[in-house]
Amino acid sequence: MQKTIAFREDLFVDVFDQRGTLIESIILKDNSSGLFNEIITRPFDSGVYVAQLQYRDVIVTDFFTVR
């Protein structure tokens, strides 16, 4: 996601397992180009997860599978 505003602002990503349990909360801080990058190094058990990104009052979700 690349934002189009001229000042720095954080994005928030929460990762939930298939039972709805919060697994990880991540605060993304943009660089001087307005880009975000975060590598999650902790292992996840096999299953379906939901990543939920929040920016102001907008919430976007995406599902991913860990095998």
7 CB contacts (<8 Å, ≥6 apart)?
Answer: none
17 CB contacts (<8 Å, ≥6 apart)?
Answer: 23, 45, 47, 48, 49
Q: What confidence tier does 7 reach under pLDDT thresholds 50, 70, 90?
A: low
CB of 23 closer than 8 Å to CB of 43: no
> What is residue 65's predicted lDDT score, i.e. its pLDDT?
96
> What is residue 23's predicted lDDT score, i.e. its pLDDT?
95
Residues forming a β-bridge with 22: 16
Query: Rounded to two decimals, what is the model's pTM?
Result: 0.75
> What is residue 6's predicted lDDT score, i.e. its pLDDT?
56
Summarised one tens digit per residue, pLDDT across range 8-35 is: 677 889 999 999 999 999 988 887 777 7
